[in-house]
């Protein structure tokens, strides 16, 4: 029994033999006091996770000198690339592209990666703006991902603490997805140099979260096989602290479904009885859902928009559609909500004498579950890096925004968050979703949040864009890059960490629950979304693309004094209680 489990482990995960050879090649196994030769490495998968994890966390001080040297060098290199970090953050901010339309962003990022020796595959998984950048060979294969898309109507001048769009009505980085690729790319370039120099085996894969705001991309990357041979996925996401968590994360998973109804057109006044309104079906479905909403679990979230409700009032609408997000904290419950939605849609069609023509999945996300061992490894590095040193201007900026929002003026985080622990379902109060959830169920994954934004913002709005091309974002991304670089060194030099991560993944996380995609075989990425909005605003936005060859920063290019605070706004108001 034990042997067969072990056999399974070896054949599906990073091979034990391969890892041992890899460790021997590095000359690491015989190093005294090193984890590799210690009990964690020798343990059977059955008993490994807790113990190995404990050791990882408990022994940061006793780092092997060779590994410590690599880490110091990686940090020095990330430090030298501060300007590059800032340029990537500012450039992607200036592109401000919406999901599936990240054309400039992807061109810029892949160009940069190509220049640094990565091999690029473009247009992956049926998404023109998705790509995969690879470098290196052999195991371990480490995937670094981060989202790249923006938010509708979030165009905002950075460093200005009140509403002042760059292009009125245009999209912008009202979530901060302009910063994560800077974190990953800079860390990858630094570690790649060390791998080249020391001939460390391993493969680095960089990839973008396309259309994350539509939770539209990652399930397709999985279906396309991107993570097939990946040993670990490090995902980075903007936050307001430098932190990581393991186990079930707070928040939800979701399925995003469009219901299309077909009616009969007729003159709305001349012969309304001859018509059947598709809009009626939409409205009836929404009424039904809103009544039922009261009797759904508090963890659930659901919302909809009507994107098509007919052409003009005197023509009975032939076509109408409504787009729902069904969110829950567990996969089964997401499916239940979806079935309930289908029931409502069919009932609404019956009531209105219309037809439910087709449903389309526009996005999906599994609830997130992060890997314990990888999270502990990252957390050890977080403690080494600490939070950025904010200066007065940064704190003034943050407090001015918080003041405008009428929330507590506590400024930027100055204390590191604790390692996040699993959230029990009864304590999960619902909330947002991220399709990194899907990835977390196919390969050991963590999301590193790095402090590029101001605490306590509303999310998905121009408020969230204010800090995202200022020193706050730059310093936060730098701290993120440092943390990822250190973690990459760990993953490349400590096979035991990967071994234990897979043990946790197999024997704990996925023991009773296996990944089944929410996307159906007939679903394809909704790449036509946002075409019109970008078509409308791109020409005007192009005038404001950041040109690092002429300006040191985007703030400089826009001629913005940092921070710009509303005239007459008083500072240092007593903190709200």
Q: Which residues bind Zn ion (CB under 5 A)?
A: 175
Of 217 and 275, nearer to Zn ion (C-beta) is 217
Alpha carbon distance 304, 326 (integer Å)? 9
Compute the residue count for the chain.
577
Grouping H, G, I as helix, E, B as strand and the rest as coil, residue 245 is strand
Alpha helices in 452-553 (DSSP H): 471-493, 495-503, 531-542
Question: CA 471, CA 462: separation in Å to the nearest integer?
Answer: 18
Q: For the CB of residue 374, give the shortest distance to Zn ion in the complex, in Å.
A: 20
CB nearer to Zn ion: pick between 238 and 486: 238
Cβ closest to Zn ion, residue 73 vs residue 175: 175
Smallest distance from Zn ion to CB 101, Å: 16
CB of 173 to Zn ion, least distance (A): 10
Pair 387, 242: CB distance under 8 Å: yes
Nearest approach in angstroms of CB 395 to Zn ion is 25
Residue 345 Cβ, how far from Zn ion at the closest point, in Å? 29
| Cβ-based nearer residue to Zn ion, 175 or 409 | 175
Does residue 98 contact residue 172 with C-beta atoms inside 8 Å? no
CB nearer Zn ion, residue 33 or residue 459: 459
Which residue, chain included where needed, has tokens 């991902």?
A: 145
The least distance separating Zn ion from the CB of residue 281, rounded to whole angstroms, comes to 33
Instruction: Count the alpha carbons within 13 Å of 324 in the hemisphere toward its beta carbon.
Output: 26
CA distances to 20, 31, 210, 393 from 27, rounded to whole Å, are 10, 7, 40, 48
Shortest Å, Cβ 495 to Zn ion:
32
246-257 burial string, b = 16+ CB within 10 Å, else e?
Answer: bbbbbbbbbbbb
281/436 with CB nearer Zn ion: 436
Verify cis geometry, omega within 30 degrees of 0, for the bond prior to 90.
no
Q: Which sign, positive or negative, has the C-alpha torsion 129, 135, 139, 144?
A: negative
Taking every pair of C-alpha atoms in the chain, what is the biggest distance, in angstroms? Answer: 91
Q: Which is nearer to Zn ion, 238 or 419 (CB)?
A: 238
CB 310 within 8 A of CB 282: no
Gap between the Cα atoms of 17 and 293, Å rounded: 54
Which CB, 15 or 432, lies closer to Zn ion? 432
User: Do 263 and 322 form a contact (C-beta atoms < 8 A)?
Assistant: no
Nearer to Zn ion, 70 or 154 (CB): 154
The nearer residue to Zn ion, 67 or 215, going by C-beta atoms, is 215
> Is there a contact between 234 and 410 (Cβ–Cβ < 8 Å)?
no
DSSP class of 256 = E
- Give me the least distance between CB of 452 and Zn ion, in Å please: 12
Nearest to 387 by CA among 297, 480, 456: 480
Rounded to the nearest whole angstrom, what is the least distance from the CB of residue 93 to Zn ion in the complex?
14
User: Token digits for 516?
Assistant: 């089944």
Which residues 6+ apart lie within 8 Å of 524 measured at CB?
A: 126, 220
Shortest Cβ 393–Zn ion spacing (Å) = 26
Give the residue at shortest CB distance from Zn ion. Answer: 175
Closest approach of Cβ 247 to Zn ion, in Å?
Answer: 20
Q: Give the residue with the Cβ less far from Zn ion, 214 or 345.
A: 214
3-class SS string, 69-90: HHHHHHHHHHHHCHHHHHHHHH
């Amino acid at each position: 029994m034990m042997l067969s489990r072990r056999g399974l482990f070896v054949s599906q995960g990073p091979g034990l033999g391969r890892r041992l050879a890899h460790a021997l090649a590095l000359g690491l196994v015989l190093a005294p006091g090193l984890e590799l030769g210690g009990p964690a490495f020798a343990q059977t998968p059955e008993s490994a996770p807790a113990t190995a994890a404990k050791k990882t966390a408990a022994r940061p001080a006793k780092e092997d000198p060779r590994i410590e040297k690599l880490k110091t060098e990686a940090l020095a290199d990330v430090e030298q690339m501060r300007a590059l970090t800032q340029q990537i953050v500012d450039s992607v901010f200036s592109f401000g592209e919406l999901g599936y339309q990240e054309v400039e962003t992807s061109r810029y990022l892949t160009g940069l990666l190509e220049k640094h020796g990565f091999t690029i595959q473009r247009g992956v998984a049926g998404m023109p703006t998705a790509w995969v950048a690879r470098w290196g060979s052999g195991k371990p294969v480490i995937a670094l991902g981060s989202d790249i898309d923006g938010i509708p109507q979030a165009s905002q001048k950075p460093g200005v603490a009140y509403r002042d769009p760059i292009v009125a009505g245009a999209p912008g980085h009202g979530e901060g997805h302009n910063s994560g690729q800077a974190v990953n790319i800079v860390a990858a370039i630094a570690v790649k140099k060390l791998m080249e120099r020391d001939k460390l085996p391993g493969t680095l894969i960089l990839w973008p979260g396309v259309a994350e705001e539509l939770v539209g991309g990652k399930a397709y990357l999985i279906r396309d096989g991107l993570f097939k041979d990946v040993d670990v996925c490090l995902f980075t996401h903007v936050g307001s602290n430098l932190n990581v968590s393991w186990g079930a994360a707070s928040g939800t998973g979701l399925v995003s479904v469009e219901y299309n109804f077909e009616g009969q057109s007729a003159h709305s006044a001349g012969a309304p009885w001859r018509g059947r309104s598709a809009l009626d079906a939409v409205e009836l479905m929404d009424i039904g859902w809103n009544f039922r909403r009261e009797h759904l679990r508090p963890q659930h979230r659901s919302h909809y928009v009507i994107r098509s409700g007919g052409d003009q009032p005197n023509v009975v609408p032939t076509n109408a559609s409504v787009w729902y997000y069904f969110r829950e904290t567990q996969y089964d419950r997401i499916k239940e909500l979806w079935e309930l939605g289908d029931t409502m849609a069919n009932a609404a069609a019956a009531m209105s004498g219309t037809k439910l023509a087709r449903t389309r999945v526009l996005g999906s996300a599994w609830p997130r579950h992060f890997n314990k061992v990888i999270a502990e490894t990252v957390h050890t590095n977080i403690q080494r890096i600490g939070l950025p040193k904010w200066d007065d201007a940064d704190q003034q900026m943050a407090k001015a925004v918080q003041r405008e929002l009428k929330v507590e003026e506590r400024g930027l985080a100055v204390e590191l968050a604790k390692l996040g622990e699993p959230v029990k379902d009864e304590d999960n109060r619902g909330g947002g979703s991220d399709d990194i959830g899907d990835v977390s169920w196919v390969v050991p994954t963590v999301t590193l949040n790095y402090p590029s934004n101001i605490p306590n913002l509303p999310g998905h709005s121009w408020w969230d864009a204010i800090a995202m091309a200022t020193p706050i974002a730059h310093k936060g991304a730098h701290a993120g890059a440092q943390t990822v670089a250190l973690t990459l060194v760990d993953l490349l030099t400590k096979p035991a960490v990967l071994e234990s991560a897979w043990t946790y993944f197999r024997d704990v996380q996925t023991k009773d629950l296996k990944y089944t995609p929410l996307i159906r075989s007939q679903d394809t990425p909704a790449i036509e979304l946002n075409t019109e909005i970008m078509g409308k605003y791109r020409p005007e936005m192009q005038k404001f693309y950041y040109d690092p060859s002429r300006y040191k920063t985007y703030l400089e290019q826009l001629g913005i004094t940092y921070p710009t605070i509303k005239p007459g706004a008083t500072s240092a108001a007593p903190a709200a209680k």
